[in-house]
Structure 1
Amino acid sequence: MASGLEVWNPDPSILRVHDEYFIATSSFEYFPGVPIYKSKDLANWELYSHALRTPDDVQLYGVPTGAGVWAPDLSYINGRFYLTSMTRWTYDPTARVWPRVYFMSSHDLINWSKPTWCEPWGIDPSLFHDPNSGRTYLNLMAPNNNLDRIWGIYQCEISLTTGNCVGEYISLWNGTLPHNASARDEGPKMFFKDGFYYLLIAEGGTDDLHRSTIARSLSLKGPWTPAPNNPILFNGAYGFDNLTVQSTGHATFVETSRGDWYATFIARRKINGTSPLGRETFMTTIEWKDGWPILNENKPILLSESFGTTPDQKYPPAPFRDTFRSKVVDSSWYQLRTPYTKNYRSGTHGNSGITFAPNVFSLSDRDTPAAILRKQKSLNMTFSASLLPSTKPLGYLQSIGISVYLSEFQHQDIG
């Protein structure tokens, strides 16, 4: 694991530019969207920015828990950062509302362009800039047709101006598992190394069977040769209850300036059959043998505070205390879904404290209640809040307090 990235940070995409490393992760129904973390040493990370910061950037009105913004991908093309992602508004198959893909660009990872929506629809999009041709390609998980909806990995050359395909839309690879609805080929990441194009994907769904596999080709259109040691990442091979770390997959690779290689990926800590901290970002070493990657020396992934040649993590993290003195709240606070209007004011009680403007929504509604939330940082932690005096009584059905929140159906409230 990596300090500063522990706890719920799913679907990491890692990128190195010069001597700095960046990771973007999914944010689902939370706002602002797509947190981006920064590191100098791969071991210790800080929250650097968010890509989706205004209601115009992302519309999450009424999305259910687990929908929203998924699987961002970071790339660096011609001196600009690009972030590719997708938004899923509903799980209802009768609604026929499909996930939509977009990308944004930035010169500093802080100030982002408005989303450019792409022609294809699908899940887990990523951009690949071919160093040989100078062309840019969109890779994504998409269905074979609108009837069977068997997912696979697809690609087209794309215009970075319009988001439209400017080349043929083709099927790339269907992975290593039997090609049916449970295979769930997803998370394609493409890179070029030593004369080969590599296609790294996830398979098996996002639960116990989750894994990473890889293939290579002399052409970015294939045919693709699977690695002889696939799956290259799969803790489930050692049993689903024998190891704490499970559901390993959705990997991305990065090469350091010294020529070392590392992989980031998601996994969850399985504790008494559940994962209280959700899907977390993990990291491990990569060695190359005969042109194929070997992750973690072919050993199972265990909880550790050190890996490879990176320094030890600064652990445990420093306690967090917020007195809300600034009119802008700390970037680690989130709201549910896209807020229609601002429903709180910070720095209001003698230059400290936060005041909420109650609305008609509660934590049980699929909307934006007057509340701010922060990620649980540990399995063992304490949290408290001080209620400041108010000159106005609460209105009908209004309440104030603290909550341990998982979804609109599962939250423990005190107040």
Structure 2
Amino acid sequence: MDVGKVSIYEAAQNGDFELVKWIVEYSRASLNEFAKGHRTALHFAAMSGNLEMFRYLTERCGLDPLCGDEELVTPWDIARENGHAEIDKYLEDRYGHRYEDFYRNPIRSGFFPDPSICRVGDDYYMANSSFIFFPCIPISHSKDLIHWEIIGHAITDPNWAGLDELDGGRGYWAPDISYYNGKFYIAATYRLNDTGPVYRRQIVVSSDKPQGPYSEPVFIDEDGIDPGLFNDDDGRRYMLLNRGARIFELDKTGTRKISDATLLYYGSNKRAPEGPHIYKKDGYYYLLQAEGGTGPGHRVTVARSRELMGVYEPCPYNPIMRQDDPDALIQRCGHGDLVETQDGRWYMVYLCGRKIGDGYSILGRETALDPVTWTADGWPIVNGLRGPSCMQIKPFPEKDMYESCSALQSADPLAKAHNDRAISPCGLPFDYMTTRSFNKGDIKYICDDPANSDWKSLKDGQTFVIHASAYPLSDINSRNIVLRRQTDFSFDYSVIMDIPELMDEQFAGITGYYDENTFFEFGLTNRDGKNVLYSREHIGTEDRITYGCEVPLEIKAVYLKMETEYLKRVLKYEFIYNESSKLDEPDSKLTIFSTLSNVYYLCDEGYDKGKRFTGALVGMYAVGGIDNNLYVSFHTPTYTERK
């Protein structure tokens, strides 16, 4: 064999240890390069099962067994999948933990940006941005920092939301959740349209229960974004805002500004400093900031001072979190918040985004978690300064915390988030939201006991009855679009929709949605007095419409389904003739209506208009026009990850 033409990847996959050593030690090969799919030589060594070679590449060459490829598959995953027990045992001994003791980032997939976290006893609570979606500012609970359930929202009264006139991407930004003197406090930026004269206001709400209900928002008129609340040991209370970290004092209630803002420190990177948080530890005030903008240059930095209003010294290890590999799947890591566990360890939640294809992050900005250690000279560093982890040891691997977490939440009817049966005070399941707020009665959610007799209760008896919006999805006055987060690159979403009595320019069906500027629709409309299937892609000012077959008069309902593989959507349907019909399975019985080959426009980067900081959603819609009395029933909405 001509060894000069054999790559280290081929040699490693073939288990040729001697050739791998020769390439490493005598050729010009560089081990900081990647094969196709962003795989290292260690990924290929894991395929071969050669333990001696795997150890050499790990211990002598410093390749990481927990490094993820373009789909976050690690060498350990490959060894496991191929049944290489010796490598599996070696890695368990190396890390002192079983394979099952590791978690994967991101810990919250899909539209969960700008995380803020606090701990009360053994319970952890997180708040995330919601922008123009209602109810506002989801609050999640966890026992183990890994498994999270939405338990409530900071604003559930539509009269308090103030979303009606706001463009997509505005609304509630970067919340901060904290606990003080028996109450939970949430602060957030209320971002208005760019019409002025005021663009940004700060809100504060409070509750004695983490799930709420929370108080009516109190406004603090100080310009800036990303408020962080800080309570000092002397009982004085403060709010921080960007740019840099500006601080001003609040009254004892935490709702009224009582001093002018003062700049503490502008930041280390000097670009877009935001998301400030302060923590007091070992006699220092530590100031955490996000910098570099929420794109590829995003990062987390830290500075400290002996006095709250003193001069802040930047950390010599900055940035303490940043993705330095431009080809890695997990990107734009920043906007962090620290939390100390009940046993004295530290972790940081932070936002990230996974980019696919030509750099599209269709799932939006997500939440990741990594451990924090403190250096001998008293600085916090995240994940050993290696950037975001793909595969990381669970904070509490010694017992199945997920079961205890689920048991705790099952006892609280407000906290059964992911079974889609818990109802928020606004009347929606916790996983669902609407574009801006809706009027009481315009959306009715019914969750009956399953009855296996007909298609209306095919799986779980869930029904949404939607009063059709007077305006199309492309208008900011559109209402009653019922949505949930897209949390996977590959998934199926389906509903059974009763056939409505449609008139011209009325529409109903399922949608892939980003904002009023970019979305697609798949459902029914009326043409020449007859119901027909249609699909529409709306991209800015362009509409791409496809019309299909007429719906027979005897049809009672239609099964609508989208099958998703990354940026591809296959739209399928099946007509249902009567209520005793069983929906034919498998999917080969369904009819393909159309294929949307590239829904790039559902990504943050997919269209250049307005503020695009959210993520793709899926859901149900109905459009009836002005003075309409159209109500449409959607049964059994089902979201299923595709393996």
Q: Normalising TM by the smaller chain, what interval? A: 0.7 to 0.9
1:409 correspondence with 2:517: yes
Alignment of 1:167-182 (within 5 A): 167-178=259-270
Q: Give the whole-Å Cα distance in 1 for the aligned partners of 2:422 and 2:139.
A: 23
What secondary structure sits across from 2:209 in the alignment?
Answer: coil
CA shift for structure 1 position 54 = 0.7
1:325–1:222 distance in 2 versus 1, CA, 3 Å: closer
CA shift for structure 1 position 313 = 9.2
Q: Give the whole-Å Cα distance in 2 for the aligned partners of 1:340 and 1:414.
A: 25
Aligned residue in 2 for 1:106:
207
CA shift for structure 1 position 43 = 1.4
Deviations 1:356-396 (A, max 9, x none): 11131221111342320011121111111101244xx1233
1:217 correspondence with 2:305: yes
Alignment of 1:6-17 (within 5 A): 6-17=109-120
CA shift for structure 1 position 414 = 0.4
Aligned residue in 1 for 2:468:
358
Deviations 1:2-26 (A, max 9, x none): 6872221000001000010011000
Q: Give the whole-Å Cα distance in 2 for the aligned partners of 1:120 and 1:313.
A: 41
Aligned residue in 1 for 2:554:
none
Q: Give the whole-Å Cα distance in 1 for the aligned partners of 2:423 and 2:199.
A: 42
CA shift for structure 1 position 198 = 0.7
1:160–1:88 distance in 2 versus 1, CA, 3 Å: farther
From 508, 526, 530, the counterpart of 1:400? 508
Residue identity in the other structure for 1:170:
T
Aligned residue in 2 for 1:144:
none
From 174, 180, 188, the counterpart of 1:85? 188
Q: Give the whole-Å Cα distance in 1 for the aligned partners of 2:202 and 2:159.
A: 16
Residue identity in the other structure for 1:156:
F
Residue identity in the other structure for 1:186:
E
CA shift for structure 1 position 97 = 2.8
Residue identity in the other structure for 1:130:
D
Aligned residue in 1 for 2:431:
332
Deviations 1:340-368 (A, max 9, x none): 45422223989852221113122111134
1:169–1:300 distance in 2 versus 1, CA, 3 Å: closer
1:368–1:51 distance in 2 versus 1, CA, 3 Å: farther
1:52 correspondence with 2:149: no
Aligned residue in 2 for 1:163:
255
Aligned residue in 2 for 1:187:
275
Q: Give the whole-Å Cα distance in 1 for the aligned partners of 2:171 and 2:296.
A: 23
1:95–1:255 distance in 2 versus 1, CA, 3 Å: same
1:325–1:32 distance in 2 versus 1, CA, 3 Å: closer
Aligned residue in 2 for 1:145:
none
Aligned residue in 2 for 1:293:
380
Q: Give the whole-Å Cα distance in 2 for the aligned partners of 1:134 and 1:228.
A: 31
Query: Mind listing any 5+ residue stretches in structure 2 that lack a counterpart?
Result: 1-103, 403-417, 448-455, 524-643
1:407–1:358 distance in 2 versus 1, CA, 3 Å: same
Aligned residue in 1 for 2:178:
75
Bigger radius of gyration, 1 or 2?
2
Q: Is the 8 A contact 1:159 1:165 kept in 2?
A: yes
Give the TM-score normalised by structure 2: 0.58
CA shift for structure 1 position 152 = 2.6
Equivalent residues, number: 392
Q: Give the whole-Å Cα distance in 2 for the aligned partners of 1:213 and 1:305.
A: 22
Q: Is the 8 A contact 1:43 1:313 kept in 2?
A: no
Alignment of 1:257-272 (within 5 A): 257-272=342-357
Q: Is the 8 A contact 2:370 2:389 kept in 1?
A: no
CA shift for structure 1 position 98 = 1.4
CA shift for structure 1 position 338 = 2.1
1:364–1:15 distance in 2 versus 1, CA, 3 Å: same
Q: Is the 8 A contact 2:105 2:389 kept in 1?
A: no
Aligned residue in 1 for 2:334:
249
CA shift for structure 1 position 168 = 3.9
1:18 correspondence with 2:121: yes
User: Could you say which structure has the higher helix fraction?
Assistant: 2
Aligned residue in 2 for 1:377:
487
Q: Give the whole-Å Cα distance in 2 for the aligned partners of 1:256 and 1:322.
A: 30
Q: CA RMSD in A?
A: 2.7
Q: Give the whole-Å Cα distance in 2 for the aligned partners of 1:34 and 1:257.
A: 26
Q: Give the whole-Å Cα distance in 2 for the aligned partners of 1:4 and 1:174.
A: 30
From 141, 145, 159, the counterpart of 1:38? 141
CA shift for structure 1 position 250 = 0.5
Q: Give the whole-Å Cα distance in 1 for the aligned partners of 2:237 and 2:147.
A: 32
What secondary structure sits across from 2:147 in the alignment?
Answer: coil
Residue identity in the other structure for 1:128:
F
Aligned residue in 2 for 1:125:
227
